[in-house]
Amino acid sequence: MASIAQKSLFCWHDVEALGDLHRLRLVLENLPDEELMQQLEQRRGRGRNEYPVRAMWNSLVAGIVFQHPSIEQLRRELLRNGQLRDLCGFDPTRGSDAVPSASAYSRFLSTLRKRSIREALVRVFTSLVDQCYRELPGFGRRLGADGKGIASVARRRGKGAGDRRGEHDADWGCHEYVYQNERGEVQKSVKKWFGFTVHLLADTAYELPVAFTVSRASKHEVPVMRKLIRSLDRHRPHILKAAEVFTADRGYDDGTLIDLLWHEHRIKPVIDIRNLWKDGEQTRLVPGTRNVVYDYQGTVSCVCMATGTQREMAYRGFEEKRGTLKYGCPAVHYGYGCEGKASCPLASCIRIPLSTDRRVFTPLAQSSYRWKREYAKRTALERIHSRLDRSFSLELHTIRGQEKLSVHLTLVFSVMSALALGRVRENQPNQMRSLVRPAA
């Protein structure tokens, strides 16, 4: 035996473990799960209580917080960590025998998918979102939407209803990305996966989820988002009333979605636009004018009547009562000379109705500086997706089935929101997005 002459009196591992447990405590204290627990206990009734409902639930939350991608990894952690078992609520006198078996966890997860229990679990998440609206200043004013493909752990569809190793809900999805390489050449990249898509609506300032839904991978993002917005309008209208801006990439470029956002809910859409003009069109004439043109991105320009020079007009703002965008003469606004000023049919400004082209002309003009600032906030969705993959181990998941994935994501987003609220309530707002920093 190699003896150690002088042992350290103070071990940092003890502090790190304690910090991890404090982080779990922070989540458990801020999860509004009492209704869910009562329903689970009522469902169990007088049955065997070898593994208490509350302890099993707390251990599932611990698996999310400590980034365990599978139940077996969670069980190994519980078997070796007595402090974690105590915090979760398992009987300390039983030691490692108190850790539930894999089959017990399987039955518990199956119970969470029951309709009434699943609805109670969803209410845990929606309650946390409502608390964010009450406690976080400006929460929900700037919303962003994006879809994330999640591959199923199975690689094919099941051969029959009894095939539990196959996948019965998923199908194939495909995303095409167009980008410029270092040489300025336009290239396409195609991503294909067999699985599902999570459609997320989130606050882009706090980077926290507001609502989500899960669909098969082949479902297009636009109709799913329209359905989600209409569902929020029926069941949780305060979310749409508080929203001011909706940001999304060009995959959500759709006239009906823009109409739904602005004309029904007065939410300003900031959505990147696709070039759907054919036959090589560069510009189109603004109706009712002779020398004002616009491109597919909404940049408005005037053409000098004398020289034919095309100059971008100055954006003067949006007139909500008139439903028009106002643009000023560049010569008047910027103060330079114009050779065709005498023969120009334009006055000092021009108003373009949004109805001219609802995709091109939106309440926030795409050529404005504010549109660019708002659109830059869309990267918050990318960071949330990255946390799902890395911090919450979705890239290593072992889930089959749409219901299982939906339940798991509800739990993940609940933990994400509870941790953020806990950080704020403990005066640590700068750490509200961190899953790895210990709680104070």
pLDDT in tens, 40-54: 999 988 777 789 999
143 and 246 in contact (C-beta within 8 Å)?
yes
| 7 confidence band (pLDDT: 50, 70, 90) | very low
Kindly state the helix (H) or strand (E) to which residue 269 belongs, with its residue range: strand 268-271
328 domain residue, yes or no: yes
Nearest residue to 350 (alpha-carbon basis) of 286, 270, 421 = 286
In this structure, which amino acid lies at residue 402? Q
Nearest residue to 303 (alpha-carbon basis) of 325, 283, 277 = 283
Our CA dihedral for 165, 170, 171, 173, rounded to 10 degrees, sits at -120
| 160 confidence band (pLDDT: 50, 70, 90) | low
pLDDT given for residue 125 in this prediction = 98
How many residues appear in the chain? 440
Taking residues 340-351, what's their average pLDDT? 81
How far is the C-alpha of 370 from the C-alpha of 331, rounded, in Å? 23
Q: Is 238 exposed, middle or buried (0-12, 13-18, 19+ CB in 10 A)?
A: exposed
What value does the mean pLDDT of the chain take? 87
pLDDT in tens, 73-111: 999 999 999 999 999 999 888 888 999 999 999 999 999
275 domain residue, yes or no: no
401 and 169 in contact (C-beta within 8 Å)?
yes
pLDDT given for residue 71 in this prediction = 92
Nearest residue to 210 (alpha-carbon basis) of 142, 137, 129, 265 = 129
How far is the C-alpha of 337 from the C-alpha of 80, rounded, in Å? 80
pLDDT given for residue 374 in this prediction = 95
307 domain residue, yes or no: yes
Domain around 327: 284-352
How far is the C-alpha of 103 from the C-alpha of 9, rounded, in Å? 42
State the total domains in the chain.
1
Please tell me whether residue 316 adopts helix, strand or coil conformation. Answer: strand
126 and 236 in contact (C-beta within 8 Å)?
yes
How far is the C-alpha of 175 from the C-alpha of 159, rounded, in Å? 27
Give buried/exposed letters for 135-150 (b at 16+ CB in 10 A, else e).
ebeebbebbbbbbbbb
DSSP codes joined into one string, 273-296: ------TT---EEPTT-SSEEE-T
pLDDT given for residue 277 in this prediction = 84
pLDDT given for residue 44 in this prediction = 86
How far is the C-alpha of 327 from the C-alpha of 191, rounded, in Å? 41
333 domain residue, yes or no: yes
Query: What contacts 178, CB < 8 A, 6 or more positions away?
Result: 186, 187, 188, 189
| 430 confidence band (pLDDT: 50, 70, 90) | confident
Is pTM beyond 0.85? Reply is: yes
**HSE-CB of 86 using CA atoms within 13 angstroms:** 8
7 and 424 in contact (C-beta within 8 Å)?
no
Q: How many CB atoms lie within 10 A of CB 130?
A: 14
In this structure, which amino acid lies at residue 393? S
How far is the C-alpha of 422 from the C-alpha of 432, rounded, in Å? 8
Please determine, for residue 159, whether its predicted confidence score (pLDDT) is greater than 70.
Answer: no
Taking residues 402-408, what's their average pLDDT? 93
Q: How many CB atoms lie within 10 A of CB 100?
A: 21
372 domain residue, yes or no: no
Please tell me whether residue 171 adopts helix, strand or coil conformation. Answer: strand
Please determine, for residue 337, whether its predicted confidence score (pLDDT) is greater than 60.
Answer: yes
Task: State the DSSP code for 415.
Answer: H
315 domain residue, yes or no: yes
pLDDT in tens, 97-107: 999 999 999 99
148 domain residue, yes or no: no
100 domain residue, yes or no: no
